Structure 1
Amino acid sequence: MSRSSHGLSALPSQTIAPLERLGLRLRAHRVQREWTIAEMAERLLCSPNTLRALESGKPGTSIGLLAHALWLFGEIDSIDGVAPAPTGLAAKRRVRRSAAQQGTAGVIAENERDF
């Protein structure tokens, strides 16, 4: 029986071509560096078959593996351009307070009693 999930088989056809193009670009980077599939797979700490799946644009390939490949090629910053946050959302972002600002665990500070 195949290990693919039902979710992956139901992907819209519009998602397949961009994944395949991404895989081809990754392959071009590997070929430019004259790395074999075995060498690249060793650098990525994955099997050659998993690398082939990544280069083929298979949707079930790990996003972590993709990020690792981009890092190896010096292209990790390009991942920041994927699905940028809407500008309105970024302005309303919550900021987490540091541990020093939080005080004692389980105790409500005076500045938090605004209800």
Structure 2
Amino acid sequence: MSKHSPSLAALPAPAQAALARAGSRLRAHRLQRGWTVADMAERLLCSPTTWRALEAGKAGTSIGLLAHALWLFGEIDSLDTVAPAPMGLAANRRVRRKAGSTAPGVIDENERDF
């Protein structure tokens, strides 16, 4: 059964095209290994129809299924390049702590018993 969602129906053409290209690359990886659709579905614990939807670039397929497929193909690191954080936000970013709390791994003077 296909998923009907206003957000999926409004998916822009460039996004649809990118999903179709990703699906084609997944199909190429599968064919390079000589695996059938049924083989992939068995390895991913999904139905052959779900795998075909991922290869077709259908927007409603699970990102977890995509990650599992990339792992099977030895390409899981390629997922790290999806939507990289802007350099200004990724570098030198401080983590907020509650006021009065100590940094992780630091023992407060009141906790020392020697």
The answer, yes or no, to whether TM exceeds 0.5 is yes
Q: What is the Cα-based RMSD across aligned positions, in Å?
A: 2.1
User: By how many angstroms is 1:3 displaced?
Assistant: 3.1
1:65 aligns with 2:65: yes
5 Å-filtered alignment, 1:30-45, equals 30-45=30-45
CA-CA distance at 1:74 after TM superposition? 0.2
Rounded to whole Å, the distance in 2 between the matches of 1:60 and 1:9 is: 10
TM normalised by structure 2 equals 0.81
Report deviation, 1:2.
5.7
Residue identity (%)? 69
Given the alignment of the two structures, is residue 76 of structure 1 paired with residue 76 of structure 2, yes or no?
yes
Partner of 2:23: 23
Q: Point out where structure 2 has 5 or more consecutive residues left out of the alignment.
A: 98-102
1:7-52 C-alpha deviation (Å, 9 max, x unpaired): 1001111111110010000000001101110110010111000000
Look up the SS of the partner of 2:23 in the other structure: helix
Q: Aligned partners of 1:5, 1:81: CA distance in 2, in Å?
A: 27
Mapped partners of 1:13, 1:102: distance in 2: 54
Structure 1's unaligned 5+ residue stretches are 104-108, 110-115
> How big is each residue's C-alpha offset from its partner over 1:66-98, in whole Å with a ceiling of 9 and x where there is no partner?
000000000000111111111110124334753
- Counterpart of 1:61 in 2: which secondary structure? coil
Structure 1 distance, partners of 2:66, 2:92, is 30
CA distance in 2, matches of 1:9, 1:76: 28
Q: Size of the alignment, in residue pairs?
A: 103
